[in-house]
Amino acid sequence: MKEELNNVIASAKKEINDVTSMHELMQLKSKYTGKKSILNSFMQKIGSLSKDERPAFGQTVNIAKIQITQLITAQEENIKELEYSKTLRSESIDLTMPGRKRAKGSLHPITKIWREIEDIFMSMGFEVAEGPDVEDEYHNFDALNTPQDHPARELSDTFYLDNDVLLRTQTSTVQIRTMENHPLPIKIISPGSCYRNENDASHSPMFHQVEALLVDKGVSFIDLRDILNIFVKKMFGEKIESRIRPHFFPFTEPSAEIDIVCVKCYGEGCNLCKGSGWLEMGGAGMVDPNVLEKLGIDSEKYTGYAFGLGMDRIAMLKYKIPDMRLLFENDLRFLKQFS
């Protein structure tokens, strides 16, 4: 019988080592060690042995069982390893093939600049104010100290809907409306669309402008210089200096125009700055006491500064866009560059 048992172990060893799938291995497991297995049938034969022989035989069968179980466990590990390497082979890919992407859209460059300006000023405590595009003459001209016979009021310069209804030519209108409706101090920017009756290579009849206004006790020219410097550096980088030079606007006194160091040549002189090293950015000044007084604000107590910047121009300078018309053509080959 012992010989018989050895044969069983030998055949089990062979069979177990030959299987390559987990399913087959489990079948062998039940064949050799399960309830109705060969080894169990040996155990049943124990009754036919003498009492003295029984313990030794029982032990032999048990050892055989342990041996076979160990063989199965070992083979199980082999098969798992085999299956794992199979998986690796079957899932192997060409890592250089393109990845899956979603279509990516893009914000218009003007909107990108618009948002950047809002964020810069909001971080300094300014609020963003809005007003209508279709305005009356009062808010666009009268309240801003622009005389009746000022050339800007001409049809050739301004779009009119009625005699005294027009498309705003600047977002300074929002400053007036804000001061009419809110107590001081006021610290706002007003970005938005403006319109002028001109259409050529360097002028668009609709353009985008941001105006800033601070009216409070103790606001002075130095504050204006400071805010312009901060803004220019945040927008164009630390290298870009700004300067102001005397100019005339009806609603500011003293008035100034703002220049920044040329973003292309950094002041050396180039075709962008027409050799001057400086680029014009917009207008600025201390709010004219007349403007404040018209709004019932005591101009002895309160002072303020205001300035306006062209957002389209900022976008062109910042992104080095050579032609203004690109901004409104909406060519996707242009727009997608800003994704």
Partner 1 sequence: MKISYNWLKNYIDLKVSPEVLKDRLTFAGIEVEAVEELGKELKQIKIAQVVKCERHPNAEKLSLCQVNDGTETIQVICGATNCKNNIKVAFAGIGTQIQDFKIKKAKLRGELSFGMLCSEKELGISDNHDGIMILPDNAQVGSDLAAYLGIKDTSYDVEITPNRPDLLGMIGVARDLSALMKLPITLPDSKIVEINELIEDHLSLKNEVPQLCTRYIARMIKNVVIKESPEWLKKHLISVGLRPINNIVDVTNYVMMEFGHPLHAFDYSNIQGKKIIIRKAGQNEEFPALDETTYKLEVDDIVIADDKRAVALAGIIGGENSHITTQTKDIVIEAANFLYSSIRKTSGRLKISTDSSYRFERDITDEVAELASRRACDLILEIAGGELLKGKLDSFPSKKDLKIVSVRPSRVKKVLSIDIPSEKIKEYLTALGLIFIEGSKDDLKFKIPYYRKDLTREIDLIEEIIRLNGYNNVPTLTRSQNIMNKPVFYARRKVEDLLINYGFSEVINWNFGDPNDIDKLKINKIDERRDFAKLKNPLGESFSIMRSMLLPSLLKNALYNINHGQKNFRIFELKKVFTRKDEKLATEKLHLSGLLCGELDPVYWKNDSVQLDFYDVKGIIEDILNELKIENYKFQGSDEQFYQPGLGAAATVDGKIIASFGKMDPKIVADYDINLPVFAFDIDLDTIFTRDIFHDTIFTNIPKFPPVLRDISFVISKEFNYSDIVETIRKSGKNSISKIVLFDEFAGKNIKEGFHSLTFSLILSSDTKTLTDEYINNILKKVNKVLKNSYNAEMR
Q: Which parts of this chain interact with partner 1 (CB under 8 A)?
A: 97-98, 100-108, 110-111, 115, 125, 127-130, 132-136, 155-156, 159-162, 165, 167, 178, 182-183, 185-188, 193, 195, 197, 199, 204-206, 327-333, 335-336, 339
| Three-state DSSP state, 136 | strand
Q: Could you say which of partner 1, Zn ion, none residue 110 binds, taking C-beta under 5 to 8 angstroms by partner kind?
A: partner 1
Residue 179 in contact with residue 218, Cβ under 8 Å? Answer: no
Distances (CA, A) of 54 to 9, 59, 60, 250, 281: 20, 8, 10, 121, 108
Residue type, 305: Y
- Distance set, CA 131 to CA 177, 192, 300, 307 (Å): 7, 8, 28, 17
Pairing type for strands 165-167 and 186-195 reads unpaired
CB 242 within 8 A of CB 325: no
Q: Enter the DSSP assignment of 156.
A: T
The answer to the question of residue 270 lying near Zn ion (CB under 5 A) is yes
Q: Which residue is nearest to Zn ion (CB)?
A: 262
Which of partner 1, Zn ion, none lies near 270, with the C-beta cut-off 5 to 8 A by kind?
A: Zn ion
Q: Which is nearer to partner 1, 201 or 332 (CB)?
A: 332
Which partner from the list Zn ion, partner 1, none does 290 bind, CB cut-off 5 to 8 Å by kind?
none
Q: Tell me how far apart the terminal alpha carbons of the chain are, to the nearest angstrom.
A: 83
Minimum CB separation of residue 121 from partner 1 in Å reads 11
Structure tokens at 172: 């300074």
Report how far residue 13's alpha carbon sits from residue 305's, in angstroms, rounded to the nearest whole number: 96
**What is the closest distance, in whole angstroms, from the C-beta atom of residue 51 to partner 1 in the complex?**
56
What are the C-alpha distances in Å from 303 to residues 184, 226, 252?
11, 16, 11
Q: How far is the CB of 177 from Zn ion (least distance, A)?
A: 38
Element of type H or E holding 194: strand 186-195
Instruction: Indicate the residue among 132 and 275 with the shorter CB distance to Zn ion.
Output: 275
Tell me which of Zn ion, partner 1, none is bound by residue 151, counting a contact when its beta carbon lies within the kind-specific cut-off of 5 to 8 angstroms.
none
Least distance from partner 1 to the Cβ atom of residue 100, Å: 6
- Total residues at the site for Zn ion (CB under 5 A)? 6
* Footprint on residues 272-291 left by Zn ion (CB under 5 A): 272-273
Please count the other Cβ atoms lying within 10 Å of the Cβ belonging to residue 335.
16
Using the minimum distance from each CB to Zn ion, give the nearer residue, 274 or 336: 274
Burial of 218 (0-12, 13-18, 19+ CB in 10 A): exposed
124 contact, one of partner 1, Zn ion, none, CB 5-8 Å limit per kind: none
CB of residue 201 vs partner 1: minimum separation in angstroms? 15
- The CB-of-99 to partner 1 minimum distance in angstroms stands at 9
Report the C-alpha gap between 289 and 298 in whole angstroms. 8
Question: How far apart are CB 188 and Zn ion at their closest, in Å?
Answer: 32
- Residue closer to partner 1, measured from CB, 223 or 253: 223
Which of partner 1, Zn ion, none sits in contact with 273, Cβ below 5 to 8 A by type? Zn ion
Does 265 bind Zn ion (CB under 5 A)? Our answer is yes
Query: Which residues would be at the binding site for Zn ion (CB under 5 A)?
Result: 262, 264-265, 270, 272-273
